[in-house]
Structure 1
């Protein structure tokens, strides 16, 4: 193996890819579109092949990279002029929460589970779903949260963290045990709120010592 040749090809392709990405523009990883991700993965694979295949001409690696760059820039420019194309490529925002209520159909469509949603809400400092006016999954997959300007009716001044008691019809026994309650107490509370069957409950959480119940749709 000609080590100097490998080093030279690596440095050269590094410079080429650096300028290609530089021209393509600055974007955070979380903001990459599907098109960007496909192009980046393909360029990375082509670069590796170009480095390992040191017997071939360097142009064999550079040409596919430049071709992908041209394709990406052409589609990106076209999407600026054609809204429908931008919608096809990048997708569109989806409302998961509206006025403190969860859009279960949207969650199923996006294959978004409650653990993901609650984790992201906690990361953004949101303690109660009832505090959220809009929860939007952006085209990039990032969750944007807009809380009520004034506290929602169920929100306390210093609310406690959200505690899931039922998720998709299943009782979270550890959480229930953690607050010193039994399944009998939970069943009785559900009946009091007009939910006699656990299997019909999509989510039941304890927020500010009050139950928040979402029925399956």
Structure 2
């Protein structure tokens, strides 16, 4: 039992390291080669986890080889557009200038229900509102609405909006994040001043967010409210 636990823990660490080397992507954003490697790694790791008679090297070595292959393939795709197109394919336009491209839909084996579903996920509820819809190489859809169907932006209306920068979580469950403070151009002294002004200690804060302008929001822990 102890051996199985240790083997599983080691393989878990190796898989995390492998995924970190391949980069951060959600499953829906994986390219073809990345998805294949991810599936193969899960299958390979399961064998030495279940069979303690198998040496751990039978899991480590194939995983390392797959990660190296993925890194090499990624580098080649950066260098060669043709190679990238061979591995990942190319984006396909399913709605072109407001017209549904039935040929491309048949090629993708995409039904009208699939098209409508993906448009709804983009907050588009009528095909007539779409100028272009493109299926990217990772399977996700990009949508460009017709100009008269787009919502007006502040720039179009001539309204100048203040740039408050990114809002970051500077305190999470009592723990201060120096990285988040740097993102919003704030210092520990600024944070200490805000907390003193509110008569709150950092360990009493559940969430505190802030932005570059200096706006902040503090939510205390339940047992402190």
TM-score, L = length of structure 1? 0.67
Q: Provide the aligned length of Structure 1 versus Structure 2.
A: 150
Secondary structure of 2:3 counterpart:
helix
* 1:99–1:130 Cα contact (<8 Å) kept: no
| Equivalent residue for 2:12, pick from 11, 14, 32 | 14
Deviation at 1:98, TM superposition (A): 1.6
Structure 1: runs of 5 or more not aligned: 153-217
Deviations 1:85-110 (A, max 9, x none): 10011111100002221000000111
Q: Kindly indicate whether structure 1 or structure 2 has the higher relative contact order, using CA contacts under 8 Å at least 6 residues apart.
A: 1
Structure 2: runs of 5 or more not aligned: 151-225
Secondary structure of 1:139 counterpart:
coil
* 2:116–2:125 Cα contact (<8 Å) kept: no
Does residue 31 of structure 1 match 2:35? no
Q: In 2, distance between residues paired with 1:16 and 1:29?
A: 19
Deviation at 1:124, TM superposition (A): 1.8
Deviations 1:30-56 (A, max 9, x none): 111111111111111111101112122
The residue that corresponds to 1:46 in the other structure is 44
Q: In 1, distance between residues paired with 2:13 and 2:84?
A: 30
List structure 1 runs of 4+ shifted beyond 2 angstroms: none
Q: In 2, distance between residues paired with 1:99 and 1:67?
A: 45
* 1:97–1:133 Cα contact (<8 Å) kept: yes
* 2:96–2:131 Cα contact (<8 Å) kept: yes
Q: In 1, distance between residues paired with 2:83 and 2:69?
A: 14
Secondary structure of 1:41 counterpart:
helix
Secondary structure of 2:149 counterpart:
coil
* 2:96–2:132 Cα contact (<8 Å) kept: yes
| Equivalent residue for 1:134, pick from 132, 135, 148 | 132
Q: What's the C-alpha RMSD, in Å, of the aligned pairs?
A: 1.3
Instruction: Show the 5 A alignment for 1:72-151.
Output: 72-151=70-149
